[in-house]
């Protein structure tokens, strides 16, 4: 009896999916989803960069509209301020109230609009003022100026200020181009109030103004001038 060998071809049997078994997604599907996620992440990052740039520009424009920058040249405001200092100027404050006696302001030169000067307000609209013999008098009364070190300089003669004029002087009286030379300053020429000294770093801080509201003399002057 001959042995008969039968060759059988076996095909893999694919068992039916059983409940609870985990189906793994094909590798190519994962790759497609990953690429899509990376694309969205890149667009999101780009959007954030653009938003940051736009916000920075808006903030810069707002600050630039509200403030100015000024470099002091010359000795006319010594010892309060000195040459080479950089200041921030508040350009909004005088839209809220008029200049006050003792304020340090930046303004366009009344005889040369291409030049800006920085001085202190000592006389207010409607007052009669005279600066002579190391003394300022307002409506015939002496003005106390404890911030002064350098006194003297030329005399102004008596000047009656108009309804829209202030009288400005440098703290370094012998070396200052101010109202003694060209009279009252129109308030329309004022750029703003000196606010912060930011350079050099050792001078960082608020600019030192002086309030005359505490003295009896100033109170009488303020009442006569209608100053707030």
Instruction: Let me know if 76 is a catalytic residue.
Output: yes
Instruction: Give phi and psi for 165, each to the nearest 5.
Output: -120, 150
Residue 106 near residue 118, CB atoms below 8 Å: yes
> Catalytic one among 76, 156, 176, 179?
76
> Catalytic one among 119, 176, 179, 193?
119
Secondary structure in 3-state letters for the chain:
CCCCCCCCCCCCCCCCCCCCCCCCCCHHHHHHHHHHHHHHHHHHHHHHHHHHHHHHHHHHHHHHHHEEEEECCCCCCCCCCCCCCEEEEECCHHHHCCCCCCCEEEEEECCEEEEEEEEEEEECCCCEEEEECCEEEECCEECCCCCCCCCCCCCCCCEECCCCEEEEECCCHHHCCCHHHHCCEEHHHEEEEEEEEEECHHHCEECCCCCCCCCHHHHHHHHHHCCC
Lookup: tokens for 24: 């793994």
Q: Which residues are catalytic?
A: 76, 119
């Amino acid at each position: 009896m001959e042995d008969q060998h039968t060759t059988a071809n076996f095909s893999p049997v694919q068992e039916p999916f059983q409940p609870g078994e985990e189906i793994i997604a094909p590798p190519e599907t994962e790759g497609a989803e990953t690429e899509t996620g990376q694309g969205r992440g890149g667009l999101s990052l780009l959007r954030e960069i653009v938003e940051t740039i736009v916000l920075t520009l808006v903030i810069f424009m707002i600050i630039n509209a509200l403030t100015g920058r000024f470099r002091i040249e010359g000795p006319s405001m010594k010892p309060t301020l000195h040459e080479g200092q950089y200041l921030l100027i508040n350009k909004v404050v005088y839209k809220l109230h008029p200049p006050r006696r003792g304020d340090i302001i930046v303004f366009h030169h009344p005889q040369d609009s291409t030049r800006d000067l920085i001085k202190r307000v000592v006389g207010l609209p409607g007052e009669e003022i005279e600066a002579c013999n190391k003394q300022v008098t307002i409506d015939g009364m002496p003005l106390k100026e404890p911030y002064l070190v350098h006194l003297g300089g030329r005399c102004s003669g008596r000047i009656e200020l108009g309804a829209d004029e202030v009288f400005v002087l440098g703290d370094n009286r012998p070396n200052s181009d101010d109202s003694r030379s060209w009279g009252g300053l129109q308030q329309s020429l004022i750029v703003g109030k000196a606010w912060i000294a930011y350079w050099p770093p050792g001078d960082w801080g608020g600019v030192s103004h002086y309030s005359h509201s505490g003295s009896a003399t100033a109170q009488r002057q303020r009442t006569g001038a209608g100053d707030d």
